Structures are given as C-alpha cells and as structure tokens.
C-alpha cells in the first residue's frame, strides 16, 4: 500500500504538469470534523493531491495551490516533523511521521512551483 500512496493513479494531469515528491505518513484531514488516515501528500507542478487509505482503497483528493495560504512545520520530540497546510485561519491538512530528507525535498518543490503558479495567475489577471 505504501507505493500506491506515493503515486496518483487515475488522475488526468494537465499539459506539462509533472509529478514531484510525496510525503507518506499519518494524515489528519479537517473537512467538517477531523479524521485521521494513513495517507500521503503528492506534489505536482500545478497542485497537491492527498491520498487517503480507507479500507484497503486509496481515495484521491485535489488541493489547489490557491486554497493554501500558509504552510507551517512543527518539530516535536516524540513525533518528529508535522506539516500543516492552512487556508487563512483554518487548518486543512496535517501530516506527521515523515522523514526529514523527504520533507525538505517536498517543501522545496512546493515553494518553487507554488511561486511560479502564483506569478502566472497574476500575469493572466493583468492581461484580462
């Protein structure tokens, strides 16, 4: 199941969209009420995907870059790193039990393409 969580299956990628690094761990998902799953966050050059394992099935949900207003990382002694994705003051997703090296690669990829995506959106708005 670990390998299935690192990939996004059944998703149509946009033209020139590339799949980047994934974080696999314990995902706390805050839609309505908090739910905890074994899952992953998979970054692409245009958006993030959240894979959640539920009864030996993997459910995939898209998270748009524009929906994420803040990213924070906590480092807890007994738990390790926890990545939090926020929309304004609302916590969207947290993922914990991830390795340090993968977190660094994930964040580097995310910030690079999030910035490029935001700059392209601003250019398109200016032209409209």
CATH numbers and ranges of domains, the chain? 2-102 (2.30.29.30)
Residue 128 is predicted with a pLDDT of 62
* Max CA separation in the chain (angstroms): 51
What average pLDDT is seen over the chain? Answer: 87
Residue 78 is predicted with a pLDDT of 77
Match 């050059």 to its residue by tokens. Answer: 45
pLDDT one-digit tens code per residue, 1-16: 667 788 888 889 999 9
Residues in the chain, pLDDT under 50 = none
Q: Are 50 and 41 in contact (CB under 8 A)?
A: yes
- pTM for this entry: 0.86
Q: Are 46 and 17 in contact (CB under 8 A)?
A: yes
Q: Quick one: which of 75, 70, 22, 73 has its CA closest to 50?
A: 22
Token output for 60: 């995939």
């Amino acid at each position: 199941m670990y390998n299935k969580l690192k990939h996004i299956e059944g998703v149509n990628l946009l033209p020139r969209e590339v799949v980047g690094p994934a974080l696999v761990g314990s995902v706390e998902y805050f839609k309505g009420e908090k739910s905890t799953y074994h899952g992953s966050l998979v970054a692409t050059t245009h958006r993030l995907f959240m894979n959640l394992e539920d009864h030996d099935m993997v459910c995939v949900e898209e998270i748009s870059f524009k929906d994420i207003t803040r990213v924070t990382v906590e480092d807890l002694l007994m738990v390790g790193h926890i990545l939090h994705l926020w929309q304004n003051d609302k916590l969207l997703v947290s993922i914990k039990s991830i390795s340090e090296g993968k977190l660094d690669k994930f964040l580097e990829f995310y910030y690079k393409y999030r910035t490029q995506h935001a700059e392209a959106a601003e250019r398109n708005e200016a032209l409209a």
